[in-house]
């Protein structure tokens, strides 16, 4: 395949740089990724580092974070943080900024899952899921955004779900939380994009992870149903979500904000 190289062109009288390899790179960027010690968070961290960024992994398990950061290399650091402690978000941003430098990319990935029939889900359980996903992500976005606005640019990503797009049984609290992400993305995009801060979401489909493998163990019928409604006929890889995160955070997506990108092999449009 012929490699694209930068070239000059004029659009509306303004000189622009045409598509080139650097458009998909993240040199000079620093990403804070919550839930970054494993699963999709770690996959996104690896992909961003390969694209040239530095990453800071945040989560509750410090030992897991350290191992994850060490496995990535010198371009990764880690900080312990519990997203449920909403009032600590500003302190986290200050700590990361003082130790590593400005946060130019925020990935709201941390979350909890609750599989339980809707009529058996208690108010306490429902509120816990909403707090972790919705309020936790809002607190961090609110803490990070002012610095991005002052610098005139930044990217905030929310990791949504297929549960944001269609009904899935026994996950009412999770579905409510992930659907709320889409409203937050649209609202934040309208407020922050005029200041150069883009806000988007990724909705992963059924991705092959340790968690998904455990969920499908001993349930071949469920696996069969998932693959039957996925046009590509297979599970995705965590790296697929990582590459989507790189794209939405890169200059290649500089005119994209307020969208949700399904990374699902067509599951959201399949029958």
CA dist., res. 244 & res. 250, Å (int)? 10
Cβ neighbours of residue 223 under 8 Å, at least 6 residues apart?
Answer: 216
Pairing of strands 30-34, 197-204: unpaired
Radius of gyration, alpha carbons of the chain: 19
For this structure, is 247 an active site residue? no
Segments in the chain forming alpha helices (H):
39-50, 62-72, 89-100, 123-130, 136-151, 172-192, 210-216, 220-228, 238-249
Nearest to 45 by CA among 239, 235, 204: 239
Tokens of 99: 């130790």
| Residues found in the chain | 271
- C-beta atoms surrounding 28 within 10 Å: 10
Closest CA to 165 of 267, 245, 35: 267
Exposed e or buried b for every residue in 138-170, given b needs 16+ CB within 10 A? bbbbebbbebbbeeeebbbbbbbbbbbbeeeee
Among 23, 34, 30, residue whose Cα is nearest residue 158: 34
Give dist(CA 30, CA 106) in Å, integer.
9
Q: Kindly name the residue from 158, 174, 181, 206 that is annotated as catalytic.
A: 174
Return the active site residues: 174
């Amino acid at each position: 395949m012929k490699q694209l190289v930068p070239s000059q062109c004029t659009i509306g009288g303004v000189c622009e740089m045409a598509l080139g390899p650097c458009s998909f790179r993240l040199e000079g960027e620093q990403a804070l990724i919550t839930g970054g010690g494993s699963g999709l968070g770690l996959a996104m961290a690896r992909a961003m580092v390969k694209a040239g960024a530095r990453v800071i992994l945040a989560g509750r398990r410090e030992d897991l974070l350290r191992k994850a950061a060490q496995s990535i290399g010198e371009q990764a650091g880690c900080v312990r943080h519990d997203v449920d402690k909403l009032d600590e978000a500003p302190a986290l941003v200050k700590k990361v900024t003082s130790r590593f430098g400005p946060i130019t990319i925020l990935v709201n990935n941390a979350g909890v899952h609750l599989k339980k029939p809707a009529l058996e889900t208690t108010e306490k359980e429902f509120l816990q899921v909403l707090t972790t996903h919705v309020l936790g992500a809002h607190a961090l976005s609110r803490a990070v955004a002012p610095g991005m606005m002052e610098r005139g640019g930044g990217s905030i990503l929310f990791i949504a779900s297929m549960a944001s797009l269609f009904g899935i049984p026994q996950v009412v609290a999770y579905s409510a939380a992930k659907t709320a992400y889409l409203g937050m993305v649209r609202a934040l995009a309208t407020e922050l994009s005029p200041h150069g801060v883009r806000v988007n979401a990724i909705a992963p489909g059924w991705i092959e992870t340790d968690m998904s493998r455990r969920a499908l163990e001993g349930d071949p019928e469920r696996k069969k149903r998932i693959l039957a409604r996925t046009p590509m006929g297979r599970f995705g890889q965590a790296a697929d979500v990582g590459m989507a995160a790189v794209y939405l955070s890169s200059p290649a997506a500089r005119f994209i904000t307020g969208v949700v990108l399904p990374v699902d092999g067509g599951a959201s449009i399949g029958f």
